Structure 1
Amino acid sequence: MRFAFKAAAAGAVLACATGAFAQQGQTVRIAMIEGLSGPMGNVGTNQFKSWQYVAAHLTAAENPAGVKFEIVGMDSKSSPQEALNLLKSAVDQGFHYVTQGNGSNVAIPLADAVAKNNDRNPGKEVIYINYAAVDPASTNEKCNYWHFRFDADTSMKMAALTSFMKDQKDVHKVYLNNQNYSHGHQVAKYFKEGLARNRPDVQVVGEDYVALGQVKDFAPYVAKIKAAGADTLVTGSWGQDFTLLVKAMNDAGLHIPIYAYYAGVSGTPTALAQGGDQQEVYQIAYNHSNYTGRLNELMKGFKAQYNDDFYTFSVYNALVGLSTAMAKAKSTDPVKVAAALEDVRFDGFNGETAMRKTDHQLQQGMWISKWQKVDAKNPYSVENTGYTFAPVKYLEPYIASTPTTCQMKRPG
Structure 2
Amino acid sequence: MPRAGHRTGRRAVVVAAAGAAALAAPRLARPQGGPIRIGEINSYTAQPAFLQPYRNAWMLAQEQINAAGGIDGRLIETVFRDDAGRPEDAVRMAGELVGEERVALLAGGFFSNVGLAVSEFADQRRRLYVASEPLTDALVWSRGNRYTFRLRPSTYMQCAMLVEEAAKLPAKRWAVVAPNYEYGQSAARWFKELLGRARPDAQFVAEQFPALGRIDAGATVQALAAANPDAIFNVTFGADLTNFVRQAATRALFERRRVVSLLTGEPEYLLPMLDEAPEDWIVTGYPHDQLETPAHAAFRDAYRRRWNDHPRLGSVVGYDTVRAVAAMLRRANGTGTDAMVAAMRGLKFDGVFGEVEFRAIDHQSTMGAFVGRTVLRDGRGAMADWRYADGRDHLPPDEVVRQLRPQA
Q: Could you state the TM-score of these two structures normalised by the residue count of structure 1?
A: 0.79
Q: Matched residues in 2 for 1:175 and 1:234: separation?
A: 6
Tell me how far 1:251 sits from its aligned partner. 3.5
Alpha-carbon offset, residue 386 of structure 1? 4.3
Give the distance between the partners of 1:56 and 1:21, measured in 2 at CA. 14
Cα distance, 1:266–1:69 mapped onto 2, change above 3 Å? farther
Q: Deviations over 1:89-120 (max 9, x none)?
A: 111211122223311111112111112122xx
In structure 2, C-alpha distance between the alignment counterparts of 1:298 and 1:59, rounded to whole Å: 16
Query: Does residue 393 of the first structure (1) align with residue 394 of the second (2)?
Result: no
**1:224 alignment counterpart:** 223
Whether the aligned pair in 2 keeps the contact of 1:302 and 1:308 (CA below 8 Å) is yes
State the match for 1:13 in structure 2.
none
3-state DSSP of counterpart to 1:261? strand
Could you say if the C-alpha distance between residues 72 and 370 of structure 1 is closer, same or farther in structure 2, counting changes exceeding 3 Å? Answer: farther
Structure 2 partner of 1:108: 116
Unmatched 5+ stretches in structure 2: 1-27
Deviates more, 1:108-117 or 1:197-206: 197-206
Q: Does 1:76 align with 2:83?
A: yes
Question: Hey, what does 1:351 align to over in structure 2?
Answer: 354
Deviations 1:105-138 (A, max 9, x none): 11112111112122xxxxxxx3211111111111
Tell which deviates more after alignment, 136-145 or 46-55. Answer: 46-55
Instruction: Give the Cα–Cα distance (whole angstroms) in 2 for the partners of residues 294 and 184 of structure 1.
Output: 32
Q: After TM superposition, give the deviation of residue 281 of structure 1 in Å.
A: 2.2
* Aligned counterparts of 2:33 and 2:184: Cα–Cα separation in 1: 42
1:195 aligns with 2:195: yes
Instruction: Give me the whole-angstrom Cα distance separating, in 1, the residues matched to 2:74 and 2:130.
Output: 17
Aligned residue for 1:279, secondary structure, equals coil
**Conserved 8 A contact 2:55-2:318:** no
Equivalent position amino acid for 1:284 in 2: T
1:234-285 Cα offsets, whole Å, 9 max, x none, are 1223322223222322333433433222214565323543226x62222225
C-alpha displacement of 1:390: 3.5
When residues 362 and 110 of structure 1 are mapped into structure 2, their CA distance, relative to the original with a 3 A threshold, is same
Which structure has more relative contact order (CA 8 Å, sep 6+)? It is: 1
Preserved CA contact (<8 Å) 1:41 1:77: no
AA of the residue aligned to 2:312: F
Tell me which residue corresponds to 1:142. 143
1:3-402 paired onto structure 2 within 5 Å = 27-38=35-46, 40-57=47-64, 68-91=75-98, 92-118=100-126, 126-169=127-170, 171-215=171-215, 217-255=216-254, 256-265=257-266, 268-275=269-276, 279-285=279-285, 287-289=286-288, 290-292=290-292, 293-303=294-304, 305=307, 307=309, 309-312=311-314, 313-374=316-377, 386-390=380-384, 392-402=386-396
Partner SS state of residue 262, structure 1: strand
Shift in alpha-carbon separation, 1:62–1:244, aligned structure 2, 3 A = farther
Q: Distance in 2 between matches of 1:64 and 1:391?
A: 40
2:70, 2:248 → 1: CA distance?
44
Aligned equivalents of 2:91, 2:122: Cα separation in 1? 9
Normalising by structure 2, we get a TM-score of 0.80
| CA-to-aligned-CA distance 1:314-349 (integer Å, 9 cap, x gap) | 333322222222112222333322211111122223
Q: Give the letter aligned to residue 34 of structure 1.
A: N
- Whichever residue aligns with residue 228 of structure 1, its letter is A
For residues 13-51 of structure 1, give each alpha carbon's deviation from its aligned partner in whole angstroms, at most 9, with x where no partner exists. Answer: xxxxxxx9998786333222111224x343333322232
What letter matches 1:134 in structure 2?
L
Task: Give the 3-state SS of the residue equivalent to 2:328 in structure 1.
Answer: helix
Inter-partner Cα distance in structure 1 for 2:231 and 2:261 = 11
Query: 2:39, 2:103 within 8 Å by CA — same for their partners in 1?
Result: yes
More displaced 10-residue stretch of structure 1: 250-259 or 148-157: 250-259
Count of residue pairs brought into register by the alignment: 369
Partner AA of 1:291 in structure 2: L
Is the CA contact (8 Å cut-off) linking 1:78 and 1:106 kept in structure 2? yes
Seen in structure 2, the aligned counterparts of structure 1 residues 85 and 221 have a Cα distance that, compared at 3 Å, is: same
Once the 2 structures are TM-superposed, how far is the Cα of residue 210 of structure 1 from its aligned partner?
1.4
Maintained 8 Å contact 2:178/2:185: yes
